[in-house]
Amino acid sequence: PASSADWRHRQQQVVRATQLAWAAYARDALGCDEYMPLSHRGRNFTHLGIGYLAADALDTLWLMGLRAEYAQARGFLAHQVTFDQRGAVSLFETTIRVLGGLLSAYHWSGESDTRLLVLADQLGTRLARSFNTSTGIPPETAILRSDGIPFAGDCSTSESATLQLEFRYLAKLTGNLEYRRQADRVIDVMLAAPKFAGLVPTRISATTGLFTGRDISLGSRGDSYYEYMLKQWLQTRRSEPDLRSEYDAAMAGVKKYLVATSPRQNLTYIGELLRVAGEYVQFSAKMDHLVCFLAGNLALGATNGSALADAPPLARRDLDDLALARELGETCAHMYFDTPSGLAPEIAYFRQDARESSDNQLLPDGDILVPPADRHYLLRPETVESFYLLWKITGEPKWREYGWRVFEAIDKWARVDNSGYASLDDVTQLPPPHRDSVEGFFVAETLKYLYLLFSDHDPVSLSDYVFNTEAHPLPVFSW
């Protein structure tokens, strides 16, 4: 097994990767909202940009001790970003990345860098106008300069339900409880809406407050609804039991309707339900990479963040959740290690019948099937996030070793000469072709979780912090 010195060395490899990624961005596109590493340029979401990548990277740079890079990112945000500009932005992405990033960096500054809190409050004020609909369910797009009533039709369930950790913490820090009221109102509407065995469709109507989507998924547009139900309960020191009840009901529904096992490799996976004639009856053996968050989330919910060795005896439900967490962690590892590159596709399908043949299987007699359109890898974090949480909670060293294998594959295939890292087009080809893009979550999440996974002295205690869905650690608090 790897020694402490090995893990320190591995952790330094992650720091080196972060420095490479940041240096290329800072050289070619500092301050831009998007970075294209192959063409050495950046792009903005609005005319002036909103500091998207800089805010997202702040706490990663801080936690890794990269003070010069941190000063560069912070300086840009403090002196060159204004939210008083024309343009529309994604409410969800801007909340989890920019607002979450500013709030986390303010906390980690010892709550001394008040410029970051002022920026967070200025952004929060503009984004919060989106909540002024008849039901409080916001539209997916926020207009930065708008005093009118926002228009919202059918909205993404996860996007509406993944704003609360950030706005509640902003309310706590500023004393402006209107932020809390608006964010909580969305959840109240969702708690009251009818569900299918605790599970929610992927769309919700902002006019009726009822769920409208035709599919139930723990992937895109569903995932972080379930994540934030648990994390909001943890955020306020487990003081809101209805949130935990809703999460537990949903996980019972997952175990009853969405969990399946593949016939040859015996892999436990999470499928989707499609509505037919008004009933959620048609099972689809489709699992987005995004669903891999659930392994860590189940482990977190089973012990509330305590290490298993320190936790009181677990109830049957929590033991079941932890067992499912481990099984899903193994499946998500297979999604990486069964491909030629050792990196996972965006979406996997699972064989349901041992006899069916497919051109899309990863291994000759394997159960994971990946159609050509789904073979890209965006340097996503969900699997290493779960490895990190499983390691912290179970103490089983294999999760760290899995994380190291993933990092080695990223470093081997996604690194671009003189330009940091890039997303990949096809994980089944060797070498996988590069895309001219790199997502902000690569530094904000993937590299941060790997750094913390390899740390012997993790600064983030799962009892004292909740990670928002962009891996920004926010402290728990009481109102």
Comparing CA positions, the residue from 215, 167, 214, 216 lying closest to residue 187 is 167
Cα angle at 166 between 164 and 169, to 5 degrees? 100
240 is catalytic: no
223 is catalytic: yes
Widest Cα–Cα separation across the chain = 62
- Whole-number Å distance between alpha carbons of 171 and 317: 33
277-284, long-range: CB within 8 Å, 24+ apart, which pairs? 280/196, 280/199, 280/216, 283/257, 284/215
Question: Do 222 and 158 touch, CB atoms closer than 8 A?
Answer: yes
- Whole-number Å distance between alpha carbons of 83 and 124: 10
| Residue in 34, 56, 140, 223 annotated catalytic | 223
Question: Do 123 and 99 touch, CB atoms closer than 8 A?
Answer: yes
The DSSP 8-state label assigned to residue 401 in this structure reads H
Query: Cβ-count burial of 87 within 10 angstroms (0-12 exposed, 13-18 middle, 19+ buried)?
Result: middle
Q: Given the structure tokens 């487990």, which residue do they identify?
A: 238
Query: Which two three-digit tokens encode residue 136?
Result: 């409080």
Kind of pairing, strands 286-288 and 279-284? unpaired
464 is catalytic: no
| Residue in 346, 367, 385, 445 annotated catalytic | 346
| Residue in 93, 140, 184, 272 annotated catalytic | 93
- Whole-number Å distance between alpha carbons of 84 and 120: 13
470 is catalytic: no
3-state helix, strand, coil in the chain (%, to 5): 50, 15, 40
- Whole-number Å distance between alpha carbons of 150 and 39: 37
| Residue in 382, 426, 445, 470 annotated catalytic | 382
CB neighbour list of residue 249: distance below 8 Å, 6 or more residues apart:
195, 197, 198
Q: Given the structure tokens 């990548």, which residue do they identify?
A: 53
Active site residues: 93, 223, 346, 382
